[in-house]
Amino acid sequence: MHPLRFIAALVFTGLLNAASGQSSGQQLTPAASPASPVSTTDIPVLRTNANLVLIDVVVTDHGNAVHGLEQPQFRIFEDEREQTISSFDERRPPAEAPIAAKPLTLPPHVYCNVPVYADASALNVLLLDGLNTPSSDQLEVRRQMIQYLGKIAPGTSLAIFTLSSRLRLVEGFTTNVAELTKVLQSPKAGAQPSIVLDPQNDNNLDTMNLGVGSTPWMSPDALPAMLQFQADLTAYQVDQRVRMTIEAMEQLARYLSAIPGRKNLIWFSGSFPIALDPDDSLRSPFQAMRSYSDQMKQASELLSAARVAVYPVDARGLMTMPASDASYSAATNMMADSGSVRTQGIKNVAASPPSSVARDNKSFLRQLQTSQAGMEQLADETGGKAYINTNGLKEAVAQAVENGSSYYTIGYVPAAKDFNGHYRKVKVRLDNGGYQLAYRQGYYADPPDKPSASLAATAGPMTAATLYGAPPATQILFQARVLPATDPLLQGAKLPDTPGEMAATLKKTAHRYVVDLIVDARTLALDEMPDGTHQTKMEIALVAYDKEGNRVNYLDPSYAVNIKSELFTQTVANGIRLRMALNLPAGRISLRIAVRDIAAGRAGSLEVPLTIAAN
């Protein structure tokens, strides 16, 4: 949730209670008032100033966290204009281990997307990135993480995600070291070959030894064409990696948005480029040129708004110069002379011309810097730190967890009141100039009732929320009861006649399932009208997938909700109710349920596993 939205920022300190299971059967229809909500236990919330910008600042001295600083020592600036500090708080790891969160107890067939977490100064997320990391490096990461868990401070709360073809939540927040170790040792977190990262890609043409006269079947014009093809293929693969990684970061931001306080995202990745530079050796030097800076800034905005600091760790460890490798052979053919890529030849480094060795080392350093630039940018913009060129992966994680749990939260109400969507730079200064400060570098001043214009090029929140197997989104909180239409609890109730958009393609006997939703109105942007009514527009999606992840049916209606003034207080306390139904085939089904606030561009989602027996 963006800190500048005028609607009240709701930070949940408790867990949403489920409905009693009884339903009036009244369906919320477009332009209709919500049905009378069932009674639910009040949710304790903390209401903050909607204009308040929160900046988490990590202060370190030679890598160690600095404690005990006071508010007068800090000064904060927005676009070079000093701001008045409205709130100040220091957070540090508790002296005693925090009490682990208990799993949410819900009635049968009732589900909720409120995340479960321990009450700690900061929560930590491990992201094992198989999309951008060679398999051999993934194995080393797992080995060192298991070693790290053997020495972890008691009560440290961790969640584990993996990224390959899509983002997966492997283990939710827990302080149970044995469970985390078991997860890291299981196939669920095992090394996965990347679907777009080809470690041999750079040498595919090299192994052909395309030197002059070495391939009499190839014309002189063929080599430039082959090199251009190789560069275009590499650019396409990088495009896919960046797109999928950015979407995963956005999903993580939406998953973590309902959790108060700072979250540390420790991201193990093999490489993540921020740009592809022109290559003068190619026929079209600028054709494969790319810049991903804007996409990175968009992802960092969502993460920062959810108070997520990114700590990238280069999973490749310490990288060495090519010439220092015993197997190194300098390029001796035409392709190497063009400066395009390093080839595998037959000469060793001792026999190689000095210019070839220097050229290969220079090319290596340029590629290494490019591959790590995306990690460093994301760390800088979210207030984290990048750990690169080190073999001490477990030490990097230990430092990230320690320093990321020790921080100062500074709040201020911006002096500039025009919310025009422009990016505002933030700078924090400390009286003692010898300390190092890490904090998010700015934010987009978006209007409160519109989606962020800065995120227009990213995957839509509803698209991400309805992906099969994706983590729950928590920007909008809701609970859902899922029952077959034949359940005794629904006997005599009027059920929606909505078989779904793909009902005609269901080959076997369809089973009607009913979904009763209660959407927490306090997580929606409710606009007050002159007559005292409050309005919002929601899109609700039910998307069913089979066990292979194929979509088998879906429904995605939109609703215009008008809440009369006399019902507003009750609706805010008890939620907005509606009923939907969808036909499902027999077998193992994953039913994705998503709610989107159309005006604010936020979403909530969860996934319900169903086993439907054939008649």
Quick one: pLDDT at residue 26?
34
Is the pLDDT confidence value at 396 over 60? yes
Which runs of consecutive H residues, i.e. helices, occur in 383-455?
Answer: 393-404
Half-sphere exposure for 266 (CA within 13 Å, toward CB)? 26
Is the pLDDT confidence value at 393 over 50? yes
Sign of CA dihedral 407, 8, 570, 561: negative
Is the pLDDT confidence value at 376 over 70? yes
Quick one: pLDDT at residue 473?
92
Across residues 234-243, what is the average pLDDT?
80
Is the pLDDT confidence value at 36 over 50? no
Q: Is 9-15+24-48+458-612's fold the same as 122-323+372-403's?
A: no
Across residues 116-139, what is the average pLDDT?
86
Is the pLDDT confidence value at 451 over 80? no
Between 95 and 478, where is the model more confident?
A: 478
Say which range, 241-245, 287-291, 381-385, has the weakest mean pLDDT. Answer: 287-291
Confidence grade of residue 222 (pLDDT, cut at 50, 70, 90): confident
Longest Cα–Cα distance of the chain, Å, equals 88
Is the pLDDT confidence value at 27 over 60? no
Domain ranges of the chain: 9-15+24-48+458-612, 53-92+407-444, 122-323+372-403
Confidence grade of residue 101 (pLDDT, cut at 50, 70, 90): low
Across residues 596-602, what is the average pLDDT?
88
How many residues does this entry show for the chain?
A: 615
* 122-323+372-403 CATH choice from 3.40.50.410, 3.40.50.970, 3.30.1300.10, 2.20.25.240: 3.40.50.410
Between 28 and 474, where is the model more confident?
A: 474
Q: For 544-568, write each residue's pLDDT tens digit.
A: 999 999 999 999 999 998 999 999 9
Q: Choose among 610, 601, 259, 305: nearest CA to 463.
A: 601
pTM (two decimals): 0.77
Quick one: pLDDT at residue 490?
94
Confidence grade of residue 113 (pLDDT, cut at 50, 70, 90): very high
The DSSP result for 297-314, as a single string, is HHHHHHHHHTTEEEEEEE
Is the pLDDT confidence value at 600 over 60? yes
Quick one: pLDDT at residue 459?
53
Quick one: pLDDT at residue 242?
84
Q: For 485-523, write each residue's pLDDT tens digit.
A: 999 999 999 999 999 999 999 877 889 999 999 999 999
Quick one: pLDDT at residue 111?
95
Quick one: pLDDT at residue 41?
36
Q: What share of the chain in percent tops pLDDT 70?
A: 73
Residue with the two structure tokens 């991201």: 267
Highest mean pLDDT among 78-82, 240-244, 349-353: 78-82
Q: For 405-450, write each residue's pLDDT tens digit.
A: 999 999 999 998 887 778 899 999 998 778 999 999 988 887 655 5
CATH code for residues 9-15+24-48+458-612: 2.60.40.10
The DSSP result for 51-80, as a single string, is T-EEEEEEEEETTEE-----GGGEEEEETT
Q: Considering the chain, what is the average pLDDT of its residues?
A: 78
Distance separating alpha carbons of residues 310 and 243, to the nearest angstrom: 18
Say which range, 95-109, 208-222, 531-545, 562-576, has the weakest mean pLDDT. Answer: 208-222
Across residues 95-118, what is the average pLDDT?
80
Q: For 170-191, write each residue's pLDDT tens digit.
A: 988 888 889 899 989 888 777 7
Confidence grade of residue 283 (pLDDT, cut at 50, 70, 90): low
Distance separating alpha carbons of residues 243 and 234, to the nearest angstrom: 14
Is the pLDDT confidence value at 204 over 70? no
Is the pLDDT confidence value at 286 over 70? no
| Long-range CB contact pairs, 229-233, < 8 A, 24+ | 230/201, 230/204, 230/205, 230/341, 231/279, 231/282, 231/287, 231/288, 231/340, 232/287, 232/288, 233/201
Confidence grade of residue 45 (pLDDT, cut at 50, 70, 90): very low
Q: Choose among 390, 272, 377: nearest CA to 320.
A: 390
Is the pLDDT confidence value at 24 over 70? no
Say which range, 333-337, 390-394, 466-470, has the weakest mean pLDDT. Answer: 333-337
Confidence grade of residue 364 (pLDDT, cut at 50, 70, 90): low
Say which range, 151-160, 204-213, 316-325, has the weakest mean pLDDT. Answer: 204-213
Confidence grade of residue 84 (pLDDT, cut at 50, 70, 90): very high
The DSSP result for 430-459, as a single string, is ESSTTSEEE-B-EEE---TTS--GGGTTSP
Quick one: pLDDT at residue 187?
81
The token pair at 4 is: 């500048």
Distance separating alpha carbons of residues 545 and 97, to the nearest angstrom: 40
Is the pLDDT confidence value at 231 over 90? no
Confidence grade of residue 201 (pLDDT, cut at 50, 70, 90): very low
